[in-house]
Chains A and B, each alone.
Chain A
Amino acid sequence: MRKDKILIIGGNSFLGFHLSNYLSTTFHITSTYLTRRPTQGPFVRCNLLSKPELFGLGHFDCVIQYSSIISGASKLDKNLQMVANAVEYSNKIQSRFVFVSSSQVNFSIDSTYRQSKIQSEQLIKSTSNDYIIIRPAAPYGARLDYAFTRTQAFHVLAKFVSNSPFVPVIGSGSYLRQPVHVDNLNRLIEYSITSDLTKKIFEIGGPRQIAFNEIIDIISKSKSRTTMKVHLPEFVFQLGSKLTSFIDSELVSAVKSDEKANNQSWQEHFHIDLIPFEQGVLDL
């Protein structure tokens, strides 16, 4: 069945904005936002915790949820309530629900963020009539001309490499990541919108796992820079997280978990040429 009208909840996030741009040539896109400040751009304000506001948005063929709360008190309860509302809304308007989860559900170190994704997935599986769950691993992509509320971690890293002779690293830096280019992620979401498959979970990462130390080396090489890695104990970053709002304390704790995405989960259904990090890094 043709799906034309797409709602992206959290469309003014870095990934949501990329997705909106990617899909806008094929679909009619409505993007929602809710941030600390008013936003410029083609967005509709919507507090996902308010059912009358969400249901007042009207009918869509597919609802994609990017929105989640990643810091602050009650984030677990709020994230679950937002998902519950979005699923109830999708069921009522008989639309497909695509939930962008996280590869962190497979992390060995627990966090409230990880729990919110795990419990959200469980909620979706038990209540949604038509869903696809996508677990991206460390997405990255080109900067966009928009004042995002948070700066992407890869952009912070690239800026550090460009401007500083050293980069602070949490611990040994030997933990693995599998960064996926946002274009690959968007292609998988597009497949998820149009495919007849339903009630599936897809994991997507880059073509290979890369140690965090090597990620810095690859970014440095792309910028023709020589970067010294300064390995600091976790407590230094924990202290930094308490003094600034840049990084959530729980994310510091979880960073040592290795990340592995099972690309086979979608490769039997769709074809996507995964972009090697050495190539995609040129977008940073």
Chain B
Amino acid sequence: MPDSSVLLTGCNGYAGSRILKILSGKLNFVGIDVAPGSNNTETLDLRDYDSLQTLNKYDFDYVLHTAWDQTSRNIYANNVKASGNLFKYLSTRETKGFIFISSYYVSTTVDIQYSRSKLKVENDLFDSGIPFVIIRPDMLYSLDEPKIQEQLSYMRKHFAVSVGDGLALRTPTHISDLARLINQILTSNTFTNKVYEIGSPISYSQKSLLSLIAKNAGLSPFVVTIPEFLARTLFAITGKVDPEQASTIKRDRVADLTLLQADFGFTPMNFEDGITL
């Protein structure tokens, strides 16, 4: 039987649900989410401090914080409030360690609500005094990730969509690598109070990522390039992506794995391997 109990926030989100699925045989999870779903132990809104009292009946040693508003108009306020309530609640009980899934954006000069909220919560966690590890993944993915599935649906219609020239570099993180790292941190109880970037050791242009996805699916789509302003408009209309992120698409994002390898001996997989899983 697994020994460690982990409070998992955002257990019905993409990252939370996949991590739970991968690690459920190795760790005991208490799953919480604002949205109802199959993984919830409790459905609660972290922005409502009183609702956190329902967690008093659960034993957990660690916290894995993946819950994040990524698309609303109040990304900053919602996330800072929710995380602040979580830290306030945890100050009333003992916590052995806290893993925060931050974002690679904090390793850049990007200044949007999303990156500011991640940065603020990193600092609030630091000030909380709880032992922690902060992980900044670049572009979490797996074959069943919604945005990859959306591209595949286009590709089956013989096209793919690229915003801008598609030349900006990315180092995507396979969700199983993130889960593997979390498991390593929790099972070894290694809370270093440091920040780690994670992503593919090889960087790829956005266009080459599309090519690899298509190649893996045996498809040969025509790449349709749309300008940034149009992407921003589409993001705002569909609500699937934070419109502010459109302004960051041309920027390179290349994870620096030096610290991850030095402290955990951890090397993630390349995208071309991960996309086949």
* Interface residues of A, Cβ cutoff 8 Å to B: 34-38, 44-45, 47, 49-53, 55-56, 72-74
Contact = CB atoms under 8 A, between A and B. Distances in A.
Contacts of A53: 106, 122, 134, 194-195
Q: Is the interface of B mostly helix, strand, loop or mixed?
A: mixed
Contacts of A38: 169, 252, 254, 256
A44 B195 CA distance: 12
Contacts of B54: none
Contacts of A47: 106-108, 119
Contacts of B144: none
Which 8 pairs across A and B sit closest by C-beta, in order of nearness?
Answer: A56-B194, A38-B254, A52-B126, A53-B195, A51-B126, A37-B252, A51-B123, A50-B122
A44 B123 CA distance: 19
B123 A74 contact: no
Interface of B: 106-109, 111, 119, 122-123, 125-127, 132, 134, 169, 192-195, 197, 251-252, 254, 256, 258
Contacts of A52: 122-123, 125-126, 132, 134, 193-195
B112 to A, nearest CB: 12
Given A35-B109, A72-B111, A51 B122 contact: yes
A12 to B, nearest CB: 13
Given A51-B126, A52-B125, A52-B132, A73 B111 contact: yes
Contacts of A72: 111
A50 B107 CA distance: 9
Contacts of B108: 34, 36, 47
Contacts of A56: 192-195
Q: Is the interface of A mostly helix, strand, loop or mixed?
A: loop
A148 to B, nearest CB: 15
Contacts of B127: 51
Contact of A50 (B106, B111, B258): B106
Given A34-B109, A56-B192, 4 more contacts: A52-B123, A55-B193, A56-B194, A74-B111
Contacts of A73: 111
A36 B105 CA distance: 11
A45 B194 CA distance: 13
Contacts of B254: 38
A193 to B, nearest CB: 26
Nearest to B125: A52
B252 A50 contact: no
A152 B269 CA distance: 40
Contacts of B107: 34, 45, 47
B273 to A, nearest CB: 22
A36 B169 CA distance: 12
B126 A55 contact: yes
A50 B120 CA distance: 8
20 contacts: A34-B107, A34-B109, A36-B108, A36-B109, A37-B251, A38-B169, A44-B258, A45-B197, A47-B108, A49-B119, A49-B123, A50-B119, A52-B134, A52-B193, A52-B194, A53-B122, A53-B194, A53-B195, A72-B111, A73-B111
Residue among A35, A36, A73 with most chain B CB within 10 A: A36
Contacts of B134: 52-53
Contacts of B132: 52
Contacts of B123: 49-52
Nearest to A49: B119
A87 to B, nearest CB: 15
Contacts of A37: 251-252
